[in-house]
Chains A and B, each alone.
Chain A
Amino acid sequence: MTAQVWGAKCTTCGATSYPRHGVCPQCRGERFEPAPIAGDGRVLSYTDVYALAIDYETRYLRLAIVELDDGTRAIGHLIDPAPSLGKRVSATIGVVREPGEERIYGLRFVPV
Protein backbone atom coordinates (compact mmCIF):
# COMPACT_ATOMS: atom_id res chain seq x y z
CA MET A 1 0.00 0.00 0.00
CA THR A 2 1.29 3.46 -0.80
CA ALA A 3 1.85 5.79 2.12
CA GLN A 4 -1.22 7.86 2.89
CA VAL A 5 -2.42 10.29 5.54
CA TRP A 6 -5.83 9.32 6.84
CA GLY A 7 -8.61 11.34 8.32
CA ALA A 8 -11.66 9.75 9.92
CA LYS A 9 -15.04 9.88 8.17
CA CYS A 10 -17.95 9.49 10.57
CA THR A 11 -20.31 6.73 9.34
CA THR A 12 -23.22 8.46 11.13
CA CYS A 13 -23.05 12.04 9.81
CA GLY A 14 -20.41 11.80 7.08
CA ALA A 15 -18.15 14.54 8.49
CA THR A 16 -14.41 14.00 8.06
CA SER A 17 -12.18 14.92 10.98
CA TYR A 18 -8.41 15.22 10.96
CA PRO A 19 -6.69 14.30 13.16
CA ARG A 20 -8.92 11.45 14.29
CA HIS A 21 -10.81 11.61 17.58
CA GLY A 22 -12.50 8.91 19.63
CA VAL A 23 -15.86 10.51 18.87
CA CYS A 24 -17.03 12.63 15.93
CA PRO A 25 -16.65 16.36 16.76
CA GLN A 26 -19.87 17.06 14.83
CA CYS A 27 -22.34 14.40 16.04
CA ARG A 28 -20.47 12.38 18.71
CA GLY A 29 -20.72 9.27 16.52
CA GLU A 30 -18.22 6.54 17.41
CA ARG A 31 -17.81 4.67 14.11
CA PHE A 32 -15.50 5.85 11.37
CA GLU A 33 -14.07 4.78 8.06
CA PRO A 34 -10.68 6.01 6.86
CA ALA A 35 -10.76 8.98 4.49
CA PRO A 36 -7.56 10.02 2.71
CA ILE A 37 -6.33 13.58 3.28
CA ALA A 38 -5.71 14.46 -0.36
CA GLY A 39 -6.51 16.83 -3.21
CA ASP A 40 -6.04 20.53 -3.72
CA GLY A 41 -6.60 23.45 -1.40
CA ARG A 42 -5.31 26.85 -0.34
CA VAL A 43 -2.65 28.05 2.07
CA LEU A 44 -4.27 29.38 5.23
CA SER A 45 -0.96 30.30 6.91
CA TYR A 46 2.71 29.42 6.59
CA THR A 47 5.98 29.94 8.43
CA ASP A 48 9.68 29.29 8.04
CA VAL A 49 10.76 27.80 11.35
CA TYR A 50 14.43 28.02 12.33
CA ALA A 51 13.81 26.79 15.91
CA LEU A 52 13.81 23.18 14.79
CA ALA A 53 13.03 20.00 16.64
CA ILE A 54 15.52 17.15 16.75
CA ASP A 55 15.75 14.89 13.65
CA TYR A 56 16.29 17.75 11.17
CA GLU A 57 19.55 18.85 9.63
CA THR A 58 18.22 21.62 7.39
CA ARG A 59 18.55 25.28 8.43
CA TYR A 60 14.81 25.81 8.43
CA LEU A 61 11.53 24.10 7.61
CA ARG A 62 8.70 25.72 5.66
CA LEU A 63 5.38 24.65 7.22
CA ALA A 64 1.83 25.50 6.22
CA ILE A 65 -1.74 25.09 7.38
CA VAL A 66 -3.75 24.20 4.29
CA GLU A 67 -7.51 24.12 3.87
CA LEU A 68 -8.41 21.46 1.31
CA ASP A 69 -11.33 21.93 -1.05
CA ASP A 70 -13.43 19.41 0.92
CA GLY A 71 -13.06 21.65 3.98
CA THR A 72 -10.60 19.53 6.00
CA ARG A 73 -7.44 21.26 7.17
CA ALA A 74 -3.95 19.96 7.85
CA ILE A 75 -0.44 21.06 8.67
CA GLY A 76 2.31 19.85 6.38
CA HIS A 77 5.60 20.77 4.78
CA LEU A 78 5.26 23.46 2.12
CA ILE A 79 7.50 22.86 -0.88
CA ASP A 80 7.20 26.23 -2.57
CA PRO A 81 9.94 28.82 -3.11
CA ALA A 82 7.36 31.64 -3.29
CA PRO A 83 4.66 31.03 -0.68
CA SER A 84 1.72 33.38 -0.15
CA LEU A 85 -1.53 33.38 1.79
CA GLY A 86 -4.40 31.86 -0.19
CA LYS A 87 -2.12 30.27 -2.83
CA ARG A 88 -3.44 27.04 -4.42
CA VAL A 89 -1.51 23.90 -3.46
CA SER A 90 -1.83 20.13 -3.89
CA ALA A 91 -1.35 17.54 -1.15
CA THR A 92 1.38 14.99 -1.88
CA ILE A 93 2.91 12.37 0.38
CA GLY A 94 6.60 12.17 1.21
CA VAL A 95 9.14 11.75 3.99
CA VAL A 96 8.63 14.44 6.64
CA ARG A 97 10.83 13.24 9.50
CA GLU A 98 13.67 10.74 9.84
CA PRO A 99 14.34 9.77 13.44
CA GLY A 100 17.42 7.49 13.27
CA GLU A 101 16.83 4.79 10.65
CA GLU A 102 13.07 5.39 10.61
CA ARG A 103 11.25 7.31 7.87
CA ILE A 104 7.98 9.00 8.69
CA TYR A 105 5.69 9.84 5.79
CA GLY A 106 3.30 12.76 5.79
CA LEU A 107 1.84 15.67 3.84
CA ARG A 108 4.00 17.78 1.55
CA PHE A 109 2.12 20.56 -0.19
CA VAL A 110 3.27 21.72 -3.64
CA PRO A 111 1.94 24.54 -5.84
CA VAL A 112 -0.90 23.44 -8.15
Chain B
Amino acid sequence: MRTVGIVGAAMTKFGRSESSLIDLAVEASLGALHDAQLGEIPIDGVVVANMGAARLNRQTAVASALVDRLCLYPAAAETVENGPASGASAVKVAFQAIASGMADVVLVTGAERMRAVSNLEATDFVASLSHPEAEYIYGVTLPALAGLFARLYMDRYGVERKHLAMIAIKNHENAMKNPCAHIHQPITIEGILTAPEAVVNNPPIAAPLHLFDCCPVSDGAASLVIAAGEVADRLERPFVRIAGIGQATDTHAVHERLDPTDLAAVRRASERAFEAAGIAPSDVDVLELHDAFTILELAESEAAGFFPRGEAATAIERGETALTGRLPVNPSGGLKAKGHPVGATGVAQMVELSWQLRGEASERQVRDAEIGFACNFGGFGNNVVATVLRREDR
Protein backbone atom coordinates (compact mmCIF):
# COMPACT_ATOMS: atom_id res chain seq x y z
CA MET B 1 0.00 0.00 0.00
CA ARG B 2 1.15 3.53 -0.73
CA THR B 3 1.54 6.09 2.03
CA VAL B 4 -1.55 8.36 2.19
CA GLY B 5 -2.05 11.57 4.11
CA ILE B 6 -3.79 14.89 4.56
CA VAL B 7 -2.27 17.93 2.83
CA GLY B 8 -5.17 20.38 3.16
CA ALA B 9 -7.89 20.93 5.78
CA ALA B 10 -10.71 23.43 6.29
CA MET B 11 -14.22 23.75 7.62
CA THR B 12 -17.06 26.23 7.68
CA LYS B 13 -18.41 27.60 10.90
CA PHE B 14 -20.91 25.11 12.27
CA GLY B 15 -24.32 26.34 13.40
CA ARG B 16 -27.43 27.65 11.72
CA SER B 17 -26.53 28.73 8.20
CA GLU B 18 -28.33 30.68 5.50
CA SER B 19 -26.13 29.05 2.83
CA SER B 20 -27.36 26.14 0.76
CA LEU B 21 -25.88 22.67 1.20
CA ILE B 22 -23.73 23.06 -1.91
CA ASP B 23 -22.56 26.54 -0.92
CA LEU B 24 -21.42 25.14 2.43
CA ALA B 25 -19.61 22.30 0.63
CA VAL B 26 -17.96 24.76 -1.78
CA GLU B 27 -16.77 27.01 1.06
CA ALA B 28 -15.10 24.13 2.94
CA SER B 29 -13.68 22.60 -0.26
CA LEU B 30 -12.08 25.83 -1.45
CA GLY B 31 -10.63 26.33 2.02
CA ALA B 32 -8.98 22.90 1.94
CA LEU B 33 -7.76 23.36 -1.66
CA HIS B 34 -6.21 26.75 -0.81
CA ASP B 35 -4.60 25.18 2.24
CA ALA B 36 -3.08 22.36 0.14
CA GLN B 37 -1.63 24.71 -2.52
CA LEU B 38 -1.69 21.99 -5.16
CA GLY B 39 -0.66 24.27 -8.01
CA GLU B 40 -0.90 22.31 -11.25
CA ILE B 41 -1.42 18.94 -9.57
CA PRO B 42 -4.88 17.67 -10.63
CA ILE B 43 -7.68 16.39 -8.37
CA ASP B 44 -8.45 12.82 -9.39
CA GLY B 45 -11.55 12.31 -7.31
CA VAL B 46 -14.15 13.96 -5.10
CA VAL B 47 -15.91 12.07 -2.31
CA VAL B 48 -18.81 13.78 -0.56
CA ALA B 49 -20.06 12.57 2.81
CA ASN B 50 -23.72 13.36 3.32
CA MET B 51 -26.54 11.60 5.11
CA GLY B 52 -29.71 13.52 4.46
CA ALA B 53 -29.74 15.76 1.39
CA ALA B 54 -32.43 13.64 -0.29
CA ARG B 55 -34.81 14.20 2.62
CA LEU B 56 -33.63 17.49 4.15
CA ASN B 57 -32.69 19.47 1.04
CA ARG B 58 -34.44 17.58 -1.77
CA GLN B 59 -31.16 17.02 -3.54
CA THR B 60 -29.41 13.83 -4.60
CA ALA B 61 -26.07 13.10 -6.31
CA VAL B 62 -24.39 15.81 -4.23
CA ALA B 63 -20.83 14.84 -5.28
CA SER B 64 -21.65 15.41 -8.96
CA ALA B 65 -23.08 18.80 -8.04
CA LEU B 66 -19.95 19.72 -6.07
CA VAL B 67 -17.59 18.74 -8.90
CA ASP B 68 -19.61 21.01 -11.16
CA ARG B 69 -19.54 23.94 -8.76
CA LEU B 70 -15.76 23.56 -8.38
CA CYS B 71 -15.23 22.89 -12.14
CA LEU B 72 -13.15 19.85 -11.30
CA TYR B 73 -14.29 17.77 -14.30
CA PRO B 74 -13.42 15.10 -15.28
CA ALA B 75 -12.61 14.11 -11.65
CA ALA B 76 -14.35 10.95 -10.43
CA ALA B 77 -17.11 11.71 -7.93
CA GLU B 78 -19.23 9.76 -5.47
CA THR B 79 -21.37 10.44 -2.45
CA VAL B 80 -20.96 8.24 0.61
CA GLU B 81 -23.99 7.79 2.87
CA ASN B 82 -23.11 5.80 5.96
CA GLY B 83 -25.29 7.45 8.60
CA PRO B 84 -23.40 9.60 11.11
CA ALA B 85 -20.19 7.72 10.12
CA SER B 86 -20.43 9.02 6.54
CA GLY B 87 -17.49 11.39 7.08
CA ALA B 88 -14.86 8.86 8.12
CA SER B 89 -16.25 6.39 5.58
CA ALA B 90 -15.66 8.97 2.84
CA VAL B 91 -12.08 9.44 4.07
CA LYS B 92 -11.69 5.66 3.93
CA VAL B 93 -12.91 5.59 0.31
CA ALA B 94 -10.32 8.24 -0.61
CA PHE B 95 -7.63 6.38 1.32
CA GLN B 96 -8.39 3.15 -0.53
CA ALA B 97 -8.35 4.86 -3.92
CA ILE B 98 -4.96 6.46 -3.25
CA ALA B 99 -3.36 3.52 -1.42
CA SER B 100 -4.26 1.20 -4.30
CA GLY B 101 -2.84 3.54 -6.92
CA MET B 102 -6.19 4.36 -8.56
CA ALA B 103 -5.83 8.04 -7.62
CA ASP B 104 -3.14 10.42 -6.41
CA VAL B 105 -5.19 13.29 -4.98
CA VAL B 106 -8.78 13.16 -3.67
CA LEU B 107 -10.93 15.91 -2.17
CA VAL B 108 -13.18 14.69 0.66
CA THR B 109 -15.98 17.01 1.71
CA GLY B 110 -18.56 16.26 4.38
CA ALA B 111 -21.62 18.50 4.37
CA GLU B 112 -25.04 18.59 5.97
CA ARG B 113 -27.76 21.21 6.14
CA MET B 114 -30.13 20.04 8.86
CA ARG B 115 -31.64 23.36 9.93
CA ALA B 116 -33.47 23.48 6.59
CA VAL B 117 -36.18 21.54 8.45
CA SER B 118 -37.74 21.82 11.92
CA ASN B 119 -36.04 20.23 14.94
CA LEU B 120 -38.82 17.63 15.05
CA GLU B 121 -38.27 16.70 11.40
CA ALA B 122 -34.46 16.63 11.91
CA THR B 123 -34.84 14.33 14.95
CA ASP B 124 -37.12 12.04 12.96
CA PHE B 125 -34.69 12.06 10.02
CA VAL B 126 -31.82 10.86 12.21
CA ALA B 127 -34.15 8.35 13.93
CA SER B 128 -34.73 6.74 10.52
CA LEU B 129 -31.34 5.03 10.94
CA SER B 130 -32.81 2.92 13.78
CA HIS B 131 -34.34 -0.51 13.14
CA PRO B 132 -37.58 0.13 11.22
CA GLU B 133 -39.57 -2.78 12.71
CA ALA B 134 -38.11 -3.15 16.18
CA GLU B 135 -37.18 0.44 17.12
CA TYR B 136 -38.45 3.20 14.83
CA ILE B 137 -42.16 2.29 15.07
CA TYR B 138 -42.04 2.85 18.84
CA GLY B 139 -40.93 6.44 18.48
CA VAL B 140 -37.31 5.54 19.20
CA THR B 141 -34.98 8.46 18.46
CA LEU B 142 -31.22 8.72 18.89
CA PRO B 143 -31.67 10.51 22.24
CA ALA B 144 -33.94 7.62 23.31
CA LEU B 145 -31.26 5.03 22.51
CA ALA B 146 -28.68 7.16 24.30
CA GLY B 147 -30.98 7.45 27.33
CA LEU B 148 -31.50 3.68 27.50
CA PHE B 149 -27.74 3.16 27.13
CA ALA B 150 -26.88 5.82 29.72
CA ARG B 151 -29.24 4.41 32.37
CA LEU B 152 -27.61 0.96 32.12
CA TYR B 153 -24.06 2.32 31.92
CA MET B 154 -24.49 4.69 34.85
CA ASP B 155 -26.11 1.99 36.97
CA ARG B 156 -23.39 -0.57 36.23
CA TYR B 157 -20.31 1.65 36.57
CA GLY B 158 -21.42 4.20 39.16
CA VAL B 159 -21.27 7.07 36.69
CA GLU B 160 -23.19 10.10 37.99
CA ARG B 161 -24.84 13.02 36.25
CA LYS B 162 -22.03 15.23 37.55
CA HIS B 163 -19.51 13.27 35.45
CA LEU B 164 -21.58 13.84 32.33
CA ALA B 165 -21.92 17.52 33.25
CA MET B 166 -18.12 17.76 33.56
CA ILE B 167 -17.78 16.47 29.99
CA ALA B 168 -20.27 19.06 28.73
CA ILE B 169 -18.50 21.86 30.63
CA LYS B 170 -15.09 20.81 29.25
CA ASN B 171 -16.36 20.63 25.67
CA HIS B 172 -18.14 23.99 25.93
CA GLU B 173 -14.91 25.48 27.31
CA ASN B 174 -12.89 24.07 24.40
CA ALA B 175 -15.46 25.35 21.90
CA MET B 176 -15.01 28.87 23.29
CA LYS B 177 -11.53 28.70 21.73
CA ASN B 178 -12.82 27.36 18.39
CA PRO B 179 -14.17 30.04 16.03
CA CYS B 180 -15.86 27.31 13.92
CA ALA B 181 -17.89 25.92 16.84
CA HIS B 182 -21.69 26.06 16.81
CA ILE B 183 -22.02 26.91 20.50
CA HIS B 184 -20.06 29.63 22.25
CA GLN B 185 -21.59 29.47 25.69
CA PRO B 186 -19.63 28.84 28.88
CA ILE B 187 -21.57 26.66 31.32
CA THR B 188 -21.05 25.79 34.98
CA ILE B 189 -21.91 22.86 37.21
CA GLU B 190 -24.23 25.19 39.16
CA GLY B 191 -26.04 26.38 36.02
CA ILE B 192 -26.72 22.95 34.60
CA LEU B 193 -26.85 20.69 37.66
CA THR B 194 -26.80 22.00 41.22
CA ALA B 195 -28.54 25.41 41.31
CA PRO B 196 -32.36 25.50 41.64
CA GLU B 197 -32.68 27.06 38.16
CA ALA B 198 -30.77 24.11 36.61
CA VAL B 199 -34.10 22.25 36.47
CA VAL B 200 -35.31 24.90 34.02
CA ASN B 201 -31.97 25.51 32.22
CA ASN B 202 -31.26 21.85 31.68
CA PRO B 203 -34.51 19.93 31.19
CA PRO B 204 -34.59 16.17 30.56
CA ILE B 205 -34.30 15.05 26.91
CA ALA B 206 -34.11 11.30 27.42
CA ALA B 207 -33.75 10.58 31.13
CA PRO B 208 -31.17 10.32 32.62
CA LEU B 209 -29.77 12.55 29.83
CA HIS B 210 -30.61 16.25 29.84
CA LEU B 211 -30.35 19.09 27.31
CA PHE B 212 -26.67 19.76 28.07
CA ASP B 213 -25.85 16.10 27.48
CA CYS B 214 -26.94 16.35 23.84
CA CYS B 215 -25.31 17.82 20.73
CA PRO B 216 -27.13 20.56 18.81
CA VAL B 217 -28.65 20.20 15.32
CA SER B 218 -26.16 21.94 13.02
CA ASP B 219 -25.45 23.01 9.47
CA GLY B 220 -21.86 22.88 8.26
CA ALA B 221 -19.19 21.40 6.04
CA ALA B 222 -15.61 20.20 6.43
CA SER B 223 -13.01 19.26 3.81
CA LEU B 224 -9.72 17.44 3.49
CA VAL B 225 -7.34 17.19 0.56
CA ILE B 226 -5.87 13.70 0.71
CA ALA B 227 -2.82 12.75 -1.32
CA ALA B 228 -0.25 10.04 -1.90
CA GLY B 229 3.03 10.49 -0.04
CA GLU B 230 4.94 11.03 -3.28
CA VAL B 231 2.58 13.85 -4.26
CA ALA B 232 3.01 15.40 -0.83
CA ASP B 233 6.77 15.35 -1.39
CA ARG B 234 6.25 17.85 -4.20
CA LEU B 235 4.27 20.21 -1.94
CA GLU B 236 5.81 22.41 0.68
CA ARG B 237 3.02 21.63 3.10
CA PRO B 238 2.93 19.68 6.38
CA PHE B 239 1.90 16.04 5.95
CA VAL B 240 -0.51 14.30 8.31
CA ARG B 241 -0.35 10.61 7.50
CA ILE B 242 -3.47 8.47 7.70
CA ALA B 243 -1.62 5.84 9.68
CA GLY B 244 -4.50 3.43 10.28
CA ILE B 245 -8.23 3.05 9.64
CA GLY B 246 -10.41 0.44 11.33
CA GLN B 247 -14.10 -0.18 10.82
CA ALA B 248 -16.53 -2.57 12.49
CA THR B 249 -20.27 -3.21 12.61
CA ASP B 250 -22.67 -4.52 15.25
CA THR B 251 -26.35 -5.48 15.54
CA HIS B 252 -28.84 -2.95 14.17
CA ALA B 253 -31.23 -3.21 17.13
CA VAL B 254 -29.43 -2.15 20.31
CA HIS B 255 -31.43 -4.59 22.48
CA GLU B 256 -30.00 -7.56 20.57
CA ARG B 257 -26.46 -6.98 21.84
CA LEU B 258 -25.49 -9.55 24.43
CA ASP B 259 -24.28 -6.70 26.65
CA PRO B 260 -25.97 -3.48 25.50
CA THR B 261 -23.35 -1.41 27.36
CA ASP B 262 -20.51 -2.94 25.34
CA LEU B 263 -19.68 -0.76 22.32
CA ALA B 264 -18.16 -3.74 20.52
CA ALA B 265 -17.89 -1.97 17.15
CA VAL B 266 -15.89 0.87 18.77
CA ARG B 267 -13.62 -1.67 20.42
CA ARG B 268 -13.03 -3.65 17.22
CA ALA B 269 -12.67 -0.66 14.90
CA SER B 270 -10.16 0.93 17.29
CA GLU B 271 -8.13 -2.27 17.65
CA ARG B 272 -7.88 -2.51 13.86
CA ALA B 273 -6.88 1.13 13.50
CA PHE B 274 -4.16 0.79 16.15
CA GLU B 275 -2.90 -2.42 14.56
CA ALA B 276 -2.73 -0.83 11.10
CA ALA B 277 -0.87 2.16 12.56
CA GLY B 278 1.45 -0.07 14.59
CA ILE B 279 0.77 1.85 17.80
CA ALA B 280 -0.96 1.35 21.16
CA PRO B 281 -3.65 3.62 22.68
CA SER B 282 -0.98 4.89 25.12
CA ASP B 283 0.93 6.42 22.17
CA VAL B 284 -1.95 8.77 21.27
CA ASP B 285 -1.67 12.47 22.20
CA VAL B 286 -5.12 13.84 21.32
CA LEU B 287 -8.61 12.41 20.69
CA GLU B 288 -11.68 13.51 18.80
CA LEU B 289 -14.56 11.30 19.97
CA HIS B 290 -18.16 11.16 18.75
CA ASP B 291 -19.91 12.78 21.73
CA ALA B 292 -23.36 13.18 20.21
CA PHE B 293 -24.26 12.54 23.86
CA THR B 294 -21.89 13.11 26.80
CA ILE B 295 -22.19 9.47 27.86
CA LEU B 296 -20.70 8.45 24.50
CA GLU B 297 -17.47 10.39 25.04
CA LEU B 298 -17.01 8.49 28.27
CA ALA B 299 -18.02 5.06 26.90
CA GLU B 300 -16.04 5.41 23.65
CA SER B 301 -12.88 6.44 25.51
CA GLU B 302 -13.12 3.15 27.40
CA ALA B 303 -14.18 0.94 24.48
CA ALA B 304 -11.35 2.31 22.32
CA GLY B 305 -8.87 1.28 25.00
CA PHE B 306 -7.80 4.62 26.49
CA PHE B 307 -9.19 3.78 29.95
CA PRO B 308 -10.16 0.51 31.61
CA ARG B 309 -13.94 -0.06 31.66
CA GLY B 310 -15.65 1.97 34.33
CA GLU B 311 -12.66 4.24 34.94
CA ALA B 312 -13.18 7.11 32.49
CA ALA B 313 -15.40 8.95 35.00
CA THR B 314 -12.51 9.12 37.46
CA ALA B 315 -10.19 10.37 34.72
CA ILE B 316 -12.70 13.13 33.94
CA GLU B 317 -12.88 14.10 37.62
CA ARG B 318 -9.09 14.39 37.66
CA GLY B 319 -9.09 16.60 34.56
CA GLU B 320 -7.08 14.09 32.54
CA THR B 321 -9.17 14.72 29.41
CA ALA B 322 -9.05 18.52 29.66
CA LEU B 323 -7.09 20.56 27.12
CA THR B 324 -4.12 20.69 29.51
CA GLY B 325 -4.61 17.16 30.85
CA ARG B 326 -2.73 13.94 30.20
CA LEU B 327 -5.00 12.94 27.28
CA PRO B 328 -7.04 15.84 25.86
CA VAL B 329 -10.40 14.70 24.44
CA ASN B 330 -12.35 16.83 21.98
CA PRO B 331 -10.23 20.00 21.93
CA SER B 332 -12.54 21.21 19.12
CA GLY B 333 -15.49 21.21 21.51
CA GLY B 334 -16.69 17.87 20.20
CA LEU B 335 -20.09 17.26 18.70
CA LYS B 336 -21.50 18.60 21.95
CA ALA B 337 -20.37 22.17 21.37
CA LYS B 338 -18.67 22.33 17.97
CA GLY B 339 -21.91 20.93 16.54
CA HIS B 340 -22.99 17.86 14.59
CA PRO B 341 -23.93 18.31 10.93
CA VAL B 342 -24.09 14.53 10.62
CA GLY B 343 -22.40 13.95 7.25
CA ALA B 344 -19.69 16.52 8.00
CA THR B 345 -18.78 15.27 11.48
CA GLY B 346 -16.28 12.52 10.64
CA VAL B 347 -14.42 14.84 8.28
CA ALA B 348 -14.48 17.71 10.79
CA GLN B 349 -12.92 15.46 13.45
CA MET B 350 -9.97 14.92 11.12
CA VAL B 351 -9.79 18.62 10.20
CA GLU B 352 -9.35 19.38 13.91
CA LEU B 353 -6.76 16.63 14.33
CA SER B 354 -4.86 17.91 11.26
CA TRP B 355 -4.70 21.38 12.79
CA GLN B 356 -3.65 19.92 16.15
CA LEU B 357 -0.90 17.75 14.64
CA ARG B 358 0.34 20.65 12.50
CA GLY B 359 0.45 22.88 15.59
CA GLU B 360 -2.09 25.29 14.10
CA ALA B 361 -4.87 25.04 16.69
CA SER B 362 -4.05 28.41 18.29
CA GLU B 363 -5.56 28.82 21.76
CA ARG B 364 -6.77 25.23 21.95
CA GLN B 365 -3.47 23.69 20.79
CA VAL B 366 -2.58 20.45 22.55
CA ARG B 367 1.12 20.62 23.41
CA ASP B 368 3.49 18.44 21.31
CA ALA B 369 0.65 16.55 19.63
CA GLU B 370 2.09 14.03 17.18
CA ILE B 371 -0.51 11.23 17.04
CA GLY B 372 -4.27 11.76 16.95
CA PHE B 373 -7.24 9.40 17.08
CA ALA B 374 -10.79 9.91 15.82
CA CYS B 375 -13.90 7.80 16.46
CA ASN B 376 -16.82 8.37 14.07
CA PHE B 377 -19.81 6.54 15.57
CA GLY B 378 -22.54 5.57 13.10
CA GLY B 379 -26.03 4.41 13.98
CA PHE B 380 -26.13 3.80 17.66
CA GLY B 381 -22.76 2.08 17.50
CA ASN B 382 -23.66 -0.38 14.73
CA ASN B 383 -21.13 1.06 12.25
CA VAL B 384 -17.99 2.68 13.59
CA VAL B 385 -14.90 4.03 11.82
CA ALA B 386 -11.75 4.70 13.86
CA THR B 387 -8.77 6.56 12.41
CA VAL B 388 -5.20 7.16 13.57
CA LEU B 389 -3.45 10.24 12.18
CA ARG B 390 0.24 10.95 12.59
CA ARG B 391 2.33 14.02 11.80
CA GLU B 392 5.17 13.10 9.53
CA ASP B 393 8.12 15.22 8.51
CA ARG B 394 8.88 14.34 4.90
Contacts and interface: CB of A to CB of B under 8 A. Distances in A.
Given A44-B152, A46-B148, A53 B141 contact: yes
A19 B131 contact: yes
A55 B203 CA distance: 22
A49 B124 contact: no
B148 A47 contact: yes
Chain B, interface size category, equals 35 or more
Interface in A28-79: 44-56, 60-61, 63-65, 73-77
Contacts of A87: none
Contacts of A61: 138-139, 144
Contacts of B393: none
Nearest to A56: B139
A49 to B, nearest CB: 4
B387 to A, nearest CB: 29
Contacts, number: 114
A51 B253 contact: no
A73 B256 contact: yes
Interface in A93-112: 96-97, 104, 106-107
A63 B127 CA distance: 15
B140 interface: yes
B214 interface: yes
A74 B124 contact: no
A97 B137 contact: yes
Interface residues of A, number: 34
B255 A65 contact: yes
A52 B120 contact: yes
Interface stretch (B174-182, B204-212, B264-272, B330-338): B204-212
B140 A63 contact: yes
Interface in B131-166: 131, 133-141, 143-144, 147-152, 155
A18 B139 contact: no
B121 interface: yes
A36 to B, nearest CB: 14
A47 B152 contact: no
A19 B214 contact: no
A27 interface: no
Given A46-B148, A47-B147, A19 B133 contact: yes
Given A49-B144, A75-B253, A55 B155 contact: no
Contacts of B133: 19-20
Contact of B123 (A45, A52, A74): A52
Given A54-B120, A63-B139, A85 B214 contact: no
Contacts of A104: 137
Contacts of A56: 139
A92 B296 CA distance: 32
Contacts of A106: 137-138
B148 to A, nearest CB: 4
B205 A97 contact: no
B98 to A, nearest CB: 34
A81 B359 CA distance: 54
14 contacts: A18-B256, A25-B256, A44-B255, A45-B151, A47-B147, A47-B150, A47-B206, A47-B208, A48-B206, A49-B139, A50-B143, A50-B204, A51-B214, A75-B134
